[in-house]
Structure 1
């Protein structure tokens, strides 16, 4: 069973609560991700498992028309092996090309990973260096029906060395998510 730290329980509950409230949502999503995929943007933090991601994308924001009317979103990602989980929110844009589309996004997350962790194998620090992380993501999707779409998605979390100039391993997740328009 995954243990959530005390400081993580409230943000996790809020994200789940928002994701469960259909009143203001445009799109609910659920995904399954491989946790800690090796890419040039990260180095090994020695975590395992899969991630289950739940979230909501709200209606496109008319107030943010000057940046293309993005959809605000909230998400919660739970790691099945008890490693780093996170909650957060951000903005995503859907760029349609017929039934296929591209969905870039950018958000901030708060995670429950350790404050300090050192690899027994290498002696390197493997903690994420900051409690607050950026969450850029990109997906390519296809509409399956009028209300359902499927996306292949990459999610990255790190702080880009803005919050700690000495520590920024980051974690990449890759997976698939289903989106249901409300």
Structure 2
């Protein structure tokens, strides 16, 4: 394990959120799709379930996606901005079957504030651990999804949104076979 369990969960949620708009496909277009996303990610707390909430999550997704390819100083400024905007106040919480973990907003805070704070707190750990190089973009030529490399040998190169790794391996195999002929 590279990070604390709640940090890894938050980082995976960020990856999954960013990838709802990967490769030109929008899979978070409706309030119902947001409901399903949040249920799958086990994200709890108050909700307004309206278009404004969905728009705020889309805006957050764009801000988080931009963080995936920036340098450390730019990431620090963005993360500090997210925490400042949400009036973050870290505290230990235990709820909904989760053991002790950090929250930096109340369960009543707006959804986008809670999501941005969870993401920012996880990214704080990434930055402090000097692990920004674990935030990657898929190496498949036709994919712009992001990924989080938590492997020991830092070998992850392809996203989990489709079959990018399989397609790349098949293409490499076919290229080797063609070279032999």
Shorter chain as denominator, the TM-score bin is: under 0.3
What is the TM-score when the length of structure 2 is the normalising length? 0.27
| Larger strand proportion of the pair | 1
| Larger helix proportion of the pair | 2
Larger Rg: 2
What is the TM-score when the length of structure 1 is the normalising length? 0.27
